[in-house]
Amino acid sequence: MRFFKFTAVIASVVLLLTLSFPAAFAAGDNNDEPLTLQSSSVVDGDTNISIHPVIELVFTGKMDDILVLPNNKDCFHLQNAAGEVKSLTVLFPDTQVQSAFRNHAFLVPEAELAPGETYTLTIDSRLQDKKDNLLGQTLQIQFTTATDETFARLKENDDLIKLGDNVLSYSTALAPAASSDAATDQSAEEAEQDNTSGGPSTQTIVGIAVPVLVILLALVFYSNWKKTRQQSDKTK
């Protein structure tokens, strides 16, 4: 009988701890926060941009995780006014060494841009961070290069200089996908389905655990009541 009571108490404690885990994980989960672009060294409508620009982008999430790099390296596109795609070098900081820049990305055209021409930088909506948060919408930054010869030189970027060789470099020359937003909506829906099928929900766990806990407590109470009654009968 003592063994049964001990087992019931242990099981009750385990169930209570199990109930607390989903709430703890939910409190620390930021996957419902969309990825956003915090700042850009080139903003929409800018003029007099160097024909050798270094475009620095800062996002709200970590961009260089090995799980998202294959996707992210192809999410940046540069085109001129005629729609011609310009090759880009996409640089992500190696945050194993430089963690201060974990949310940064740097874009450098592989050939000098034409002076006095308008270009469009497109960032795909499927861009994601380490926590799988998606950008969710296609972003476009339009800028015009300078005609002044003083802008012909390479414009150095202080943050990229600090990083030195601690960068992950990729070359891309892809046009932006026409159905980028639609693909993101599908990806978000699939992610939601994956999260749903990844394990029992909190509501399901509670629905199972509470009745079991009540039954165990009832059995403990019944055991104590029965033992007390037997002792009472012996004393009569």
pLDDT tens digit at each of 236 positions of the chain: 554 555 555 555 555 555 454 444 444 444 557 899 999 999 999 999 999 999 999 999 988 788 899 999 999 999 999 999 999 999 998 867 777 888 999 999 999 999 999 999 999 999 999 999 999 999 999 999 998 876 655 567 788 878 888 888 899 989 988 644 444 445 445 544 444 444 555 556 667 777 777 787 777 777 777 777 777 666 66
Do 152 and 47 fall into the same domain?
A: yes
Do 1 and 105 fall into the same domain?
A: no
From residue 75, give the alpha-carbon distance in Å to each of 42, 146, 149, 185: 17, 26, 31, 16
Q: Is residue 194 part of a domain?
A: no
Number of domains in the chain: 2
Q: SS3 for 226? A: helix
**185-191 long-range contacts, Cβ below 8 Å, gap at least 24?**
187/126, 187/134, 188/134, 188/136, 191/132
Boundaries of domain holding 114: 37-176
Do 55 and 150 fall into the same domain?
A: yes
Q: Is residue 185 part of a domain?
A: no
Q: Is residue 235 part of a domain?
A: no
Do 44 and 123 fall into the same domain?
A: yes
Do 125 and 24 fall into the same domain?
A: no
Do 9 and 59 fall into the same domain?
A: no
